[in-house]
Amino acid sequence: MAVTENEVIFSLYKDQPIYRDLLQDFVSCLDERVIKSRAAFENESWKDLASLMHQLRGAAATYGYPALAEIAGSVEIASGQAAVPTESLAVYIEEIISTCKKIEAGMELT
């Protein structure tokens, strides 16, 4: 079955050979980042979640994945609020998971 354009996300730097190994390293760590983020959310460890999202936002932006950086930034901000909007965060966490899967699929095609 062919993968459609809506099911993959490519790095802005995918066509630059110098970034190939760096992008593979970043993408290979996404599952671990998702697991840690989901655990922080489920344990309501908002400070940990904000820290994880801050790191993810920076890394995603650095490696050319602005969509992931934007979502991670939204989670970082929301998890730092006095009244944490857990329902919104749950949606964002699922969006991060979906986005990471699309990034992984894109990496497999490059």
Segment 61-74, tens digit of pLDDT:
999 999 999 999 99
Q: Specify the pLDDT at position 106.
A: 94
Nearest residue to 94 (alpha-carbon basis) of 38, 55, 50: 38
Q: What amino acid is encoded at 58 in this protein?
A: G
Q: Specify the pLDDT at position 5.
A: 58
Whether the predicted pLDDT of 90 surpasses 50: yes
> CATH classification of 17-109 is 3.10.350, yes or no?
no
What string of DSSP letters covers 12-44?
A: TTTT-GGGHHHHHHHHHTHHHHHHHHHHHHHTT
pTM (2 d.p.): 0.91
Which of the pair, 49 or 7, is modelled with greater confidence? 49
Which of the pair, 69 or 81, is modelled with greater confidence? 69
Whether the predicted pLDDT of 36 surpasses 60: yes
Which of the pair, 74 or 7, is modelled with greater confidence? 74
Residues with Cβ within 8 Å of residue 21, at least 6 apart in sequence: none
Whether the predicted pLDDT of 12 surpasses 50: yes
